[in-house]
Amino acid sequence: MEYRVDIHVDGSVRTAMAKEGANLLEVLEEAGILLYTPCGGRGTCGKCAVRVSGGGTEPSGNERRLLGERLEKGFRLACSFAVDSDICVHIDDSGEQAVILTAGARRHVVADPPVKKKYVELPHPSLGDQRPDLERLLDHTGAESGGKGLSDLTDMGMGPETLRKLPALLRSSGYRVTTVEAWGRILSVEAGDTTANLYGTAFDIGTTTVAAYLYCLNSGKLLGAASMMNPQRKFGADVISRIDRAKASRQAADEMKNLAAECVNGLTRQLAKEAGIDVKDIYAAVFSGNTTMLHLLAGLDASGIAVSPFIPVTCRTLRLDADDLGIEMNECGQAILLPCVSAYVGADTVSAVLSSGMYERDGISLLVDIGTNGEIVLGGTDGMIACSAAAGPAFEGADITFGMGGVTGAVDSFKLQGFRYTVIGNTAARGICGSGIVDTVAALLDAGAIDETGALADERTAAGLPREVRERFTVTGGMRSFVLVPEQETGIAGPITITQKDIRGIQNAKAAIAAGIETLVAEAGISYDDIGKVFLAGGFGSTIHIGSAARIGLLPRQLADRVEAVGNASGSGASECLLSRQMLRSAEQIARKIRYVELSASRIFSEKYIENMMFM
C-alpha cells in the first residue's frame, strides 16, 4: 500500500509517495528536503517537528514530551512518524535557510597554485633528435618535472594512462601541447594551448555547513562562493553520531563518503555554472575541515577518533586523485586535504592559524574557534600549543529549548533594557541562536536575574528586580524560565524562553572553553598580559558580542579589548593553500609545529573547568 504525501515547503507543494509505515523523515529526505536533526533522527532533540494533517500513528512518549502543546496543533516529529494514510506535511516553519559566512578575511597571496599549466611548442623529432616523446616533453616543460624527487629511481614523470595517450596527442596536435603539472609530475597533457582554463576550488567542510569558493588559478581571483548544509547531518549533528553511523557497515561508510562527495559536487556545479566555466576546467580542490569530516571525505575509518585515546588514521596532508574521492572536476584533478594536528584539532584549526597569520606574528596570540568543540591555539612564531574543549552543542543552538542555528528566524542579539532583540532575516522570531543566548545570559547576569551559581532568580530573590523583568519569569515544560520574546511577537506557537536547563548548558559550555584557554595559558607558563591578540574564528565567533562573551566568562575579560573576529578562517586558509604552494607548505609547518594538549588527561583542565562553572 502506498500513500500520497503532499509537502508544503517555502510556499510550494511537492508530492511524494510513501509505503505503508514509511518513516516521514526518510520520505522527506528522498523528496530532497533535509531537516535539521542534531540527534540523528533518534527522536530526542525535537528539532524535526513538522505540522502534519490527515493521519498518523499515536504520538510517542518523546513526541509528547518534546512537543507538548504543539502536538495539539498538529506538530509531529518527522523522525518518529510512520505514514499510514495520505497526508499533508507543512514544513514552512522549519526555516533552515542557512546564513553562513562564505568569505573570511583574506590576505594577499601571490598566485602560485600547486597545479599549474604550461603551453609548449616542441621541436618535431628527426634522425638528429630522437628523444622519446616523454623526454621531448619533459625537456621543454622546465626544471620542475620528472627526473628528480624519488630517492631510488628516476620517476616516470607521469602516470601510465597519460603516457599511453602521449604519442597520439603529440602527433595530432603538431607537438603543441599544454601540460598540467603538480608535485613535479605531469598529471595530464592537452592538445593546443589551454592555459587560460585553469580553475580551482576551496572547501571548508564543517560538521554543520559546507562552504565553497571558486578561483581562477591564473589570476588568483575569487569567482564565486556558495554554501549548503552538510548533508551528512541527517545522521546526526555531531561528529560522533556520524562516526558511529559510518562504522556500522562498509555500505554506511561508503554512503557517508558519497554524501560528502555529492555535497562538494553540487557546490562545484553551482559555482561553475554561476561563473560560466566548465567543471572540467577545475584541476584542484583544497579541503579544510575538522579531522573527522576530512576522514569521512577521504573514506578513512574514523572510528578511532570517537573513543579514547582518540586516534585518527593520519593527520598528514592527503594528496589524492579527485576521482578517488568521487569528486567531479578535470579527470586529472587533484584533491588536497589539509593537515590536521590531532583527532580534535583539525585542518580547520590549522587553516584558521594560517589565515589569521598568528604563526608568523611576533608575540603570543590566542585563537579560539567555538563550536561543538572549541579549538584553542596559543602561541606564535616560537611554537604553538592547542587543545580541543568539548563545549557541547549549546552555542550552536542544540540542547537549548528554543535553540537553533544562526539561520533565518533566530534571535541573534538581546538587551534587557527595553527587551530589545534582533532576528536574522528580520522575520518573526522562531528560536534563538548562540549569540542571542550569550547576550541573554549576560544581560540576566548584569540584572542579577541569574546569580553566580547560574540559578535563575526564584520568587524570593526575584523580588528585588524591576517589575518588567520579574513579569518575564514563567515556567516552560515544568522548568523555571525567562521569556525572551513574548508569544504575540513570535512566529511559533507560544513564547521563546530560556530555561534554567538552558543556562546550565551554557555554564557547561563556557566553562569548557574558558578552562581550555586557562589550561593552555598554564601549560605555556604565561599570563593573560602576555597575549597580544585574540582571534575569534568561525561563524559563531563573528556574530558573538565580545562584551557578552566576556561577561559570561566565555572569554577572559582582560582580553576583550584585543579580540578580532576572523570569520570563516578555515575557508580562507583553504583558499590561500589553493592559490599558493607557500601557504600549503606553511599549513604543513603549522600542523607539525602545534603541540597538542589532551584535556581529558589534564588535571589542570579538570580544576579550571570546575572553577569556571561559576559566573564571576
**Which residues contact its own copies (rule: CB under 8 A)?**
114, 125-135, 148-154, 156-157, 160, 163-164, 166-168, 183-184, 298-301, 303-304, 308-320, 324, 339, 342-343, 581, 584-585, 588, 596, 598, 600-601
CB of 298 to its own copies, least distance (A): 7
Order of strands across the sheet that contains 176-182: 116-121, 176-182, 185-191
Cβ pair 261, 329 in contact under 8 A: no
Helix, coil or strand: residue 349: helix
CB of 147 to its own copies, least distance (A): 9
**Of 17 and 156, which has the nearer Cβ to its own copies?**
156
Helix, coil or strand: residue 297: helix
**Of 160 and 418, which has the nearer Cβ to its own copies?**
160
**Of 275 and 313, which has the nearer Cβ to its own copies?**
313
Cα(342)–Cα(595) distance, rounded to whole angstroms? Answer: 9
Task: Tally DSSP H helices, then E strands, for the chain.
Answer: 17, 26
**Of 233 and 295, which has the nearer Cβ to its own copies?**
295
Half-sphere exposure of 172 (CA within 13 A, CB side): 8
Cβ pair 396, 540 in contact under 8 A: yes
**Of 285 and 444, which has the nearer Cβ to its own copies?**
285
Asked whether the CA dihedral 312, 318, 323, 327 is positive or negative, the reply is positive
Distances (CA, A) of 396 to 177, 208, 329, 371, 562: 51, 9, 33, 7, 24
**Of 167 and 363, which has the nearer Cβ to its own copies?**
167
**Of 289 and 567, which has the nearer Cβ to its own copies?**
289
**Of 107 and 585, which has the nearer Cβ to its own copies?**
585
CB of 409 to its own copies, least distance (A): 41
- Per the structure block, which three cell numbers stand in for 295? 576522514
- Per the structure block, which three cell numbers stand in for 91? 514544513
Of 286, 320, 325, 290, residue with least CA distance to 306 = 290
**Of 262 and 301, which has the nearer Cβ to its own copies?**
301
Phi and psi, residue 497, nearest 5° = -125, 165
**Of 9 and 313, which has the nearer Cβ to its own copies?**
313
Half-sphere exposure of 359 (CA within 13 A, CB side): 22
Distances (CA, A) of 578 to 109, 110, 114, 320, 587: 10, 11, 7, 14, 11
**Of 137 and 450, which has the nearer Cβ to its own copies?**
137
**Of 205 and 410, which has the nearer Cβ to its own copies?**
205
Asked whether the CA dihedral 208, 214, 220, 223 is positive or negative, the reply is negative
Cell 523583568 belongs to residue: 469
Order of strands across the sheet that contains 531-537: 563-567, 531-537, 364-369, 373-380, 383-390, 594-596
Cβ pair 334, 354 in contact under 8 A: no
Cα(447)–Cα(537) distance, rounded to whole angstroms? Answer: 29
Of 149, 158, 145, residue with least CA distance to 118 = 145
- Per the structure block, which three cell numbers stand in for 223? 569567482
CB of 325 to its own copies, least distance (A): 9
Cβ pair 392, 508 in contact under 8 A: yes
CB of 157 to its own copies, least distance (A): 7
Cβ pair 296, 302 in contact under 8 A: yes
CB of 20 to its own copies, least distance (A): 38
**Of 311 and 475, which has the nearer Cβ to its own copies?**
311
Half-sphere exposure of 136 (CA within 13 A, CB side): 21
**Of 65 and 319, which has the nearer Cβ to its own copies?**
319
Of 251, 349, 222, 331, residue with least CA distance to 293 = 349
Cα(283)–Cα(329) distance, rounded to whole angstroms? Answer: 6
CB of 245 to its own copies, least distance (A): 16
Q: How far, in whole angstroms, is CA 460 from its chain's centroid?
A: 44
Cell 573547568 belongs to residue: 609
